[in-house]
Amino acid sequence: MIESIILWALAIMTAPFFSALILNVKAFFGGKKGPPFLINYYTLIKLFKKGSVYSRSTTFIFKLGPIVSLSTVLTALMFLPIAGHTPIFSFNGDVIFVLYLLGLGRFFTIAAAMDTASPFEGMGAAREAFFPIICEASMFMILILFYRLTNELQFSAYFSDNNPLELWKTAGSPLIFIVMAFFIILLTENSRVPVDDPATHLELTMIHEVMVLDHSGPDLALIELGSFCKLFLYSAFIARLIFPFNLENIYLTGGVFVGALILVYIATGIMESVIARYRMDKVPHFVLTSFALALFAIVITLEFVK
Amino acid sequence: MVLHKTGTRSIDALGGLLKKMKLTGTTFIIGSLAICGLPPFNGFVSEFFVYLGGFNGISMNGTPFVISLIAIVSLAIIGGLALACFTKVVGVVFQGEPRSQAAENVNEKGITMLIPMGVLAVFCTVIGIFPEIFIRLALKGVSTLIPGYSQISLVSFVETTGNITRYSAIFIGVLIIIFIIRTLLYQGKEITQSGTWGCGFTQPTAKMQYTGMSYSASILEFFKPFAPLRENHPAIEGRLPEKTHYHSHIDDMAELHLDKITRPIIFLFDKLRWIQHGDIHLYIGYILLAIILLLFFV
Phi, psi of B135 (to 5 degrees): -65, -40
User: How confident is the model over B232-290, as pLDDT tens digits?
Assistant: 777 777 777 777 777 777 777 777 778 788 888 888 888 888 777 778 888 898 899 99
Q: Is the pLDDT of residue A172 over 70?
A: yes
Which residues 25-44 of B have a C-beta within 8 angstroms of A?
A: 25, 29, 33, 36-39, 44
Return the higher-pLDDT residue of B197 and A235: A235
How far apart (Å, rounded) are the C-alpha atoms in residues B249 and B97?
Answer: 25
* Residues of B with Cβ-Cβ distance to A93 under 8 angstroms: 48, 51-52, 160, 163
pLDDT band at residue A304 using 50, 70 and 90 as cut-offs: low
From A8's Cα to the closest Cα of chain B, the distance in A is 13
Which residues 93-122 of B have a C-beta within 8 angstroms of A?
A: 95-97
pLDDT band at residue B149 using 50, 70 and 90 as cut-offs: low
How many beta-carbon contacts under 8 Å exist across A and B? 235
Please give the pLDDT value at position A291. 93
How far apart (Å, rounded) are the C-alpha atoms in residues B49 and B148?
Answer: 20
- From B18, B190, B210, residue closest to A61, measured CB to CB: B18
Return the higher-pLDDT residue of A183 and A85: A183
* Residues of B with Cβ-Cβ distance to A131 under 8 angstroms: none
Please indicate whether, in this complex, the C-beta atoms of A51 and B171 are within 8 angstroms of each other. no
Please state whether the peptide bond connecting residue B40 to the residue before it is cis, i.e. omega within 30 degrees of 0: yes
Farthest-apart Cα atoms in chain A, separation: 61
Interface test with B, best of A59, A141, A156, A188 (most B CBs within 10 A): A59
Q: Would you state the torsion angle of the CA atoms of residues A287, A293, A295, A296, taken in this order, to the nearest 10 degrees?
A: 160
Please state whether the peptide bond connecting residue A194 to the residue before it is cis, i.e. omega within 30 degrees of 0: yes
Determine contact, residues A192/A198, Cβ cutoff 8 Å.
Answer: yes
Please indicate whether, in this complex, the C-beta atoms of A114 and B210 are within 8 angstroms of each other. yes
Residue type, B218: S
Determine contact, residues A264/A239, Cβ cutoff 8 Å.
Answer: yes
How far apart (Å, rounded) are the C-alpha atoms in residues A131 and A284?
Answer: 7
Interface test with B, best of A62, A80, A102, A130 (most B CBs within 10 A): A130
Please indicate whether, in this complex, the C-beta atoms of A93 and B196 are within 8 angstroms of each other. no
Please give the pLDDT value at position B245. 75
How far apart (Å, rounded) are the C-alpha atoms in residues A77 and A6?
Answer: 12
What is the rounded average pLDDT for all residues in chain A?
A: 89
* Residues of B with Cβ-Cβ distance to A126 under 8 angstroms: 210, 214-219
Q: Is B201 left (phi over 0), alpha (psi -120 to 50) or beta?
A: beta
From B210's Cα to the closest Cα of chain A, the distance in A is 5
Q: Is the pLDDT of residue B155 over 80?
A: no
Cα B147 to chain centroid distance, Å, stands at: 34
Q: Is the pLDDT of residue B170 over 70?
A: yes
Return the higher-pLDDT residue of B233 and B170: B170
Q: Is the pLDDT of residue B150 over 60?
A: no
User: How confident is the model over B12-68, as pLDDT tens digits?
Assistant: 788 888 888 888 889 999 999 999 989 889 889 889 988 988 888 887 766 678 888
* Residues of A with Cβ-Cβ distance to B215 under 8 angstroms: 122, 125-126, 129
Average confidence (pLDDT) over B157-174: 88
How far apart (Å, rounded) are the C-alpha atoms in residues A215 and A222?
Answer: 10
Please give the pLDDT value at position A9. 94
* Residues of A with Cβ-Cβ distance to B52 under 8 angstroms: 92-93, 96, 153
Residue A29: name the closest of A268, A237, A263, A227 by CA: A268
Residue in chain A lying closest to B85 (CA): A129
From A177's Cα to the closest Cα of chain B, the distance in A is 18
User: How confident is the model over B86-136, as pLDDT tens digits?
Assistant: 998 898 888 888 888 877 888 877 788 888 888 999 988 988 888 888 888
Please give the pLDDT value at position A56. 85
Q: Is the pLDDT of residue A257 over 60?
A: yes
- Note whether B285 contacts A: Cβ–Cβ < 8 A: no
Percentage, residues of chain A above pLDDT 70: 99
Please give the pLDDT value at position A276. 87
Return the higher-pLDDT residue of B121 and A171: B121
pLDDT band at residue A69 using 50, 70 and 90 as cut-offs: very high
Cα A64 to chain centroid distance, Å, stands at: 21
pLDDT band at residue B147 using 50, 70 and 90 as cut-offs: low
From B162's Cα to the closest Cα of chain A, the distance in A is 10
How far apart (Å, rounded) are the C-alpha atoms in residues B271 and B125?
Answer: 52
Determine contact, residues A278/A195, Cβ cutoff 8 Å.
Answer: yes
Please give the pLDDT value at position B153. 63
Please indicate whether, in this complex, the C-beta atoms of A107 and B83 are within 8 angstroms of each other. yes
Average confidence (pLDDT) over A9-25: 93
Please give the pLDDT value at position A75. 94
Please indicate whether, in this complex, the C-beta atoms of B84 and A133 are within 8 angstroms of each other. yes
Residue A40: name the closest of A220, A224, A187, A223 by CA: A224
From A33's Cα to the closest Cα of chain B, the distance in A is 30
